Chain A
């Protein structure tokens, strides 16, 4: 686990978040949600800081972070790739697309490439079922993606 050092500014921001929930223990999930919004993920130092502010044990905070799949301790890549596994996309072969992304990027779901460029995740329906299967890279939506088209999408961001 790489140790990161939080900048004073970010630390202050985190403190403000906790304060906005009155440093209530019972608001832990809300605080984690906001914190992940700020940092993109929840590194150990952020959890440590939150534990201190809300007067909880770090083990408890870590327990909550690891219980909910929404929370992640892995930083997202520069270009986060999400594959829709909703019903429409799934029946139109999203799983094969996902397999191809795993093969091309050499990462599993929830992981980030060593160069920090791409991270891979799944989601359920972006409301574009007509374009199934759908892939999102950052905010950009790709429709009717086939396994053969995966390399092309990745290349677009690798230049």
Chain B
């Protein structure tokens, strides 16, 4: 391996050939400021268009300043990252960017997490000496994501996520010069594009150009209405990330504090989406076994591999891109959408509450969930099974508004009956978790034997696409796992071409799974945070007494008292759904 010797800010160092000046500087503790640059290490995600010019440095002997993110080190380079020339240029660049940026920091949804704002702080900008034309573009509000393009600084991170990482292709830079914007084809609204609402664009946007649709006001109103009974469900990945919003270390589990906070916010019942995740495993696992048994008996229409269907971003993706494969995913609804009808048709009826007086709120690490709960097939006479879906970030905001000192809250539990869950459901929040949970149940139901080793470590990890074979007592079951929609696309194309022989495939739209969802606290490109969150979920699973979904006593009770059996008539009606061909519903209108 060839090593390059150079000097940065008087510091002699040696780095591998082809290293960028930015990364070389990092090795000696010099953090060159960046704005458009973005990376998620170990996930192959890197954005360095070299467009913003914030990272310019001075290289001795060169006439022009060079961007550190795209310039590679050379032997003998003498670099200054904070000479007067660099400092002046960097400040001018930022002032020019700010001269076409709305000064709305006081009311901007991104205030406090905005990288442009922090950069202005870091560089000590106190006035904007330039006055020029201001961009004026219409605001675009979709069911989940708001585009406020006047706040866009053309860093192109969203384009990278949408096109390279997710291969969704909803966004592109269009027009040129001052008129350039990032937009869907024909500058249609996002709703008319193949957008899946995965929210990865929102999670990497440095400014307030891309944000989520905020439903917290609706929830506050519902909580204040004495005629309504308001129940809440919280997704697995939320408990592993919410603490970050209150200054806790990434990977701090706040399950108990979260339940306590929700109770203090005024929710009448604090339930857990994990309960519904156990229910999902009962239905999805049974479906896997049903198809597997038919396949083993030689049924050509058994539709294997079965694909998981918990992730609404993924559902939107295949409805748009692979409508011809829509018979393959499990028909089981996602945990969020299973929870809804169970809350309204079972729990509510038991308490004698009319469904229109029962408000179901979900706390999700996800933005696609906002769209999912508004889908027509999840409504009864216009009344949605899940009324509002809030992101992890919105919940944090609600807690702060209610003057709750989160960190000093006691640990409290969930309410019953829809709050009890197993370790299997907790790991739903990370890549590989859903299929591991399914294997734990499917193994026992299929073989009739007790599973001695509950952990399927071969299904865990962060590699983009993973394969593993699980031994079902002599029968090898081939499992595929993909996280990130681009990886999902690769797996699907393999299926179409007959190149793989999986029995079951788990897909999550976001890199890392739900822990890296579009509604989570911003990770600002630190992939360690995602790993800590995943580790937290595995830890919670490990600490649970019951770790298999079918052993959840409240699930057993629910089937006995209400549902009958998995895949039964009632289940079919309440817990299963169908998918649509949306490939032609993209754009172009009169």
Enumerate chain A interface residues (CB-CB to B < 8 A).
1-3, 44-45, 47-48, 56-63, 66-67
Contacts and interface: CB of A to CB of B under 8 A. Distances in A.
B184 interface: yes
Given A44-B186, A59-B185, A63-B173, 11 more contacts: A1-B186, A3-B590, A44-B185, A57-B170, A58-B186, A59-B170, A59-B174, A60-B163, A63-B172, A66-B174, A67-B176
Interface in B151-181: 163, 168-176
A56 to B, nearest CB: 8
A44 B587 contact: yes
Contacts of A3: 588-590
24 contacts: A1-B186, A1-B589, A2-B590, A3-B589, A45-B588, A48-B588, A57-B168, A57-B194, A58-B169, A58-B185, A58-B186, A58-B586, A59-B170, A59-B172, A59-B174, A59-B183, A59-B185, A60-B172, A62-B174, A62-B185, A63-B174, A66-B174, A67-B174, A67-B175
Contacts, number: 55
A41 B532 CA distance: 53
Interface in B168-213: 168-176, 183-186, 193-194
A2 B590 CA distance: 5
Given A44-B587, A44-B588, A57 B173 contact: no
A131 B186 CA distance: 40
Contacts of A47: 185
A56 B167 CA distance: 10
Contacts of A48: 588
Interface in B532-590: 586-590
Interface string B252-267: 0000000000000000
Nearest to B180: A67
B169 A59 contact: yes
A3 B588 CA distance: 7
Contacts of B174: 59, 62-63, 66-67
A66 B193 CA distance: 18
A11 to B, nearest CB: 15
Contacts of B186: 1, 44, 58, 62
Which 7 A-B pairs have CB atoms at the shortest separation, nearest pair first?
A57-B169, A59-B172, A63-B172, A58-B185, A59-B185, A62-B185, A66-B174
Interface of B: 163, 168-176, 183-186, 193-194, 586-590
Nearest to A3: B588
A66 to B, nearest CB: 5
Contacts of A45: 588
A38 to B, nearest CB: 20
Contacts of A58: 169, 185-186, 586-587
Nearest to B193: A59
Contacts of B172: 57, 59-60, 62-63
A59 B171 contact: yes
A63 B171 CA distance: 9
Nearest to B173: A63
A59 B184 CA distance: 5
A44 B586 CA distance: 12
A64 to B, nearest CB: 9
B192 to A, nearest CB: 11
Q: Quick one: which of B174, B175, B590 has the most chain A CB within 10 A? A: B174
B123 to A, nearest CB: 31
A60 B587 contact: no
B497 to A, nearest CB: 15
A26 to B, nearest CB: 15
B432 to A, nearest CB: 29
A60 B167 CA distance: 12
Contacts of A63: 172-174
Contacts of B194: 57
A123 B174 CA distance: 23
A66 B176 CA distance: 7
A28 to B, nearest CB: 12
A1 B169 contact: no
B100 to A, nearest CB: 19
B117 to A, nearest CB: 28
A64 B583 CA distance: 23
Nearest to A62: B185
A81 to B, nearest CB: 25
A59 B163 CA distance: 10
A48 B186 CA distance: 10
A47 B186 CA distance: 10
Contacts of B193: 59
A69 to B, nearest CB: 8
Contacts of B173: 63, 67
A43 to B, nearest CB: 10
Contacts of B176: 66-67
Contact of A57 (B163, B588, B589): B163
A62 B185 CA distance: 6
Given A63-B173, A66-B174, A67-B176, A57 B590 contact: no
Contact of B175 (A1, A2, A61, A66): A66
A59 B194 CA distance: 10
Nearest to A65: B174
Contacts of B586: 58
A60 B33 CA distance: 30
Contacts of A57: 163, 168-170, 172, 185, 194
A59 B172 CA distance: 5
Nearest to B195: A59
A108 to B, nearest CB: 15
A59 B183 CA distance: 8
Contacts of A67: 173-176
